[in-house]
Structure 1
């Protein structure tokens, strides 16, 4: 099979392992306390539900959090999967590697499955060769910036934000204050972070309201928005101006086993501040000119990654400036939230015909905490209402419905972005209306 699907799994149903927590943990900053580590592992275990979309068709699914079989049955019906063997509730408060070490029969089942095995990302428990070295190098936003600067002169339409690497946090605080005094907004970054963690947009008014750069950094650490130790990067803020609708773009690709780079596609991300919320992919999601610019640069990045030994999924994220140039901001050498949308689009186009536009929304707030059965029933009532809009509703993250801040992750698939907008508005209103369930008890 040609193309990215062939390079990824050979077009075969695969074993999916939700090791998001394992991947993230290898980049935890020194000084993270046990309570914060536990919170980050729990968040990662929710996000690992996206393992259901680590390829277009799972055969065996291993999840850290407990899920009901009704969830995977729903997806299997809509996506025309064969039988899916599900092992959930595996990890609890541990990483997947720690959990599998205590489950030798499950580990053997995975090893002896005879199927491709895919996971969120490469970790130290796997091959310690050039692939992992490339991950550790280019997951750094400092190393990625150096690569962007080296490649950009050959790519019209690409502009690289200026980046400073102050020597120590006191120097970083002074530089932040000096930039604010000149009226400059700064993107403050930890070299490693996921989903927006460790990246903060600092406007001059925010810095002065906090009492200066040092006070602001201490506040961000207390709020768990920045790690307490380690290097900080100061990056030029890119003002989107009239291009704000296309503020955040991504381009995903796959480096195949032989080092060939295979394009997957461009997506329009939904980013609140610096926190990734979801993505829209498919026909018309990204204007052709922007998609072509992103593709050319992202494939050049992939060629460099391949030359250094990396194999697997990656993406390059961009922001758009006032001249509609694309500014690359980071490389993710792993699966991504957008990857799930591309997997769903590929599967739906294959089993229902081409032309699907897919949107993932990773954490739609719920107006009440719901047990798994109640959340399933709530979404099931919304399924036919979405269908009347021409949209297929696919629940992707069903494990956070009973959290202190309850939420659900979903995908919506339909003919165009307008239909998805209507379905998303319907879901938002219905989720908010759940607050009324308990009004009579007040």
Structure 2
């Protein structure tokens, strides 16, 4: 099989390992207390439900959180999967590597399954070597920035924002204050972070309202926006202008076992502040010129990653400036939320015919905390309403419905952005309407 699917799984059903927490743990900054670690572990285990989309078709799912079989049955019907073994609730309160070490029979079954084994990202549990070294190097936003600066001159339409490394937190606070007095907005970054954690946009008014750079940093640490210790990067803010229709882009690709880089495609991300919310992929979602510009740099990045020993999925994220140029912001050497959207699109196009647009919504708020059965019933009602719009509803993260801030992760597949917009509005209203379930009890 040619193309990225062949490079990824050879077109075969695969074992999907939801090791999000394991991958993230490699980059946790020192100073995080036990309660913070527990919260981040729980959040990562929810996100690991995206393991259903680590390839176009799973044969085995290994999930840290407990899930109801009705959920995977729903996806299997819509996506025409063959039989899927589901091992869920495997890693409550621990990482997946720790859980599998305590369950040698399951670990052996995975190793002997005869299927490709795919995880969220490379960790030491899978062995040291050039691939893991490349992950550790280029997941750093400082190292990624250096690579962008080297490659950008050969790629018209790419602009690399200036970045400086602060020598200590006091220095970072002083530099933030100096930049604010000049009227400059700054993107403050920890070298490592996921989903927006460790990255924040600091506007001058916000800094002055907080009482200066030092006070602002303390507040950001207290609110768990930034890690309590470690290096900080100060990056030039890329202004998209007042009417930016397309702000946040990603370009995904796969580096095959032989080091060949295979393009996957461009996606339009939804980002609230600096926190990733979801993506839309499919024909015409990203204008051709922007997609080609992103592709050129992303594939050049892939060639460098391949030369350094990396194999597997990666993406390059971009923001757009006022002149519609693309500014690269980070490299993810792992699967991502957009990767799942591409997997779902590939599968739907194969089993239902080409032309699907897919939108993922990783944390759509619910108006009430719901047990798994109640959440399934609620989504099943919305499934039928979405179908009348020509949109297929796919539940992706069903385990966060009983969190203090309940949410559900979903994918929508349809023929155009108008249909996806209508279905998303329908779901948002229906989820908000759940608050009314309890009004009559007051």
- Output aligned runs, 1:301-380, within 5 Å: 301-380=301-380
Measured in 2, the distance between the counterparts of 1:21 and 1:421 equals 32
1:190 alignment counterpart: 190
2:421 alignment counterpart: 421
Q: Judge conservation of contact 1:63–1:89 (CA < 8 Å) in 2.
A: yes
Matched, 1:9 2:9: yes
Q: Judge conservation of contact 1:48–1:64 (CA < 8 Å) in 2.
A: yes
Q: Judge conservation of contact 1:250–1:269 (CA < 8 Å) in 2.
A: yes
Q: Judge conservation of contact 1:152–1:160 (CA < 8 Å) in 2.
A: yes
Measured in 1, the distance between the counterparts of 2:243 and 2:90 equals 44
Q: CA deviation at 1:73?
A: 0.2
Pairwise CA RMSD: 0.5
Q: Please give the secondary structure, in 2, of the residue aligned with 1:125.
A: helix
- Output aligned runs, 1:43-192, within 5 Å: 43-192=43-192
Q: Judge conservation of contact 1:63–1:87 (CA < 8 Å) in 2.
A: yes
Measured in 1, the distance between the counterparts of 2:45 and 2:240 equals 34
1:256 alignment counterpart: 256
Q: CA deviation at 1:243?
A: 5.4
1:299 alignment counterpart: 299
- Output aligned runs, 1:216-255, within 5 Å: 216-242=216-242, 244-255=244-255
2:269 alignment counterpart: 269
- Structure 1 unaligned segments of length 5 or more: list them: none
Q: CA deviation at 1:242?
A: 4.7
Measured in 2, the distance between the counterparts of 1:81 and 1:256 equals 24
Q: Please give the secondary structure, in 1, of the residue aligned with 2:245.
A: helix
- Structure 2 unaligned segments of length 5 or more: list them: none
Q: CA deviation at 1:195?
A: 0.0
1:388-438 residue CA offsets vs partner (Å, 9 max, x unmatched): 100000000000001111000000000001100000000000000000000
Q: Please give the secondary structure, in 1, of the residue aligned with 2:99.
A: helix
Q: Please give the secondary structure, in 2, of the residue aligned with 1:263.
A: strand
Tell me the matched-pair count: 442
Matched, 1:400 2:412: no
Measured in 2, the distance between the counterparts of 1:199 and 1:53 equals 26
Q: Which moved more, 1:234-243 or 1:162-171?
A: 234-243
1:206 alignment counterpart: 206
Give the structure-2-normalised TM-score: 1.00
1:213-249 residue CA offsets vs partner (Å, 9 max, x unmatched): 0000011111111111110000000000155221000
Measured in 2, the distance between the counterparts of 1:22 and 1:80 equals 30
1:103-129 residue CA offsets vs partner (Å, 9 max, x unmatched): 111001100001000000000111200
1:33-73 residue CA offsets vs partner (Å, 9 max, x unmatched): 11100100000000000000000000000000000000000
Q: Please give the secondary structure, in 2, of the residue aligned with 1:201.
A: strand
Q: CA deviation at 1:440?
A: 1.1
Measured in 1, the distance between the counterparts of 2:421 and 2:137 equals 38
2:383 alignment counterpart: 383
Measured in 1, the distance between the counterparts of 2:108 and 2:245 equals 48
Measured in 1, the distance between the counterparts of 2:382 and 2:214 equals 49
1:282 alignment counterpart: 282
Q: Please give the secondary structure, in 2, of the residue aligned with 1:76.
A: helix
Q: Please give the secondary structure, in 1, of the residue aligned with 2:432.
A: helix
Measured in 1, the distance between the counterparts of 2:103 and 2:346 equals 33
Give the structure-1-normalised TM-score: 1.00
Q: CA deviation at 1:31?
A: 1.1
Q: Please give the secondary structure, in 2, of the residue aligned with 1:342.
A: helix
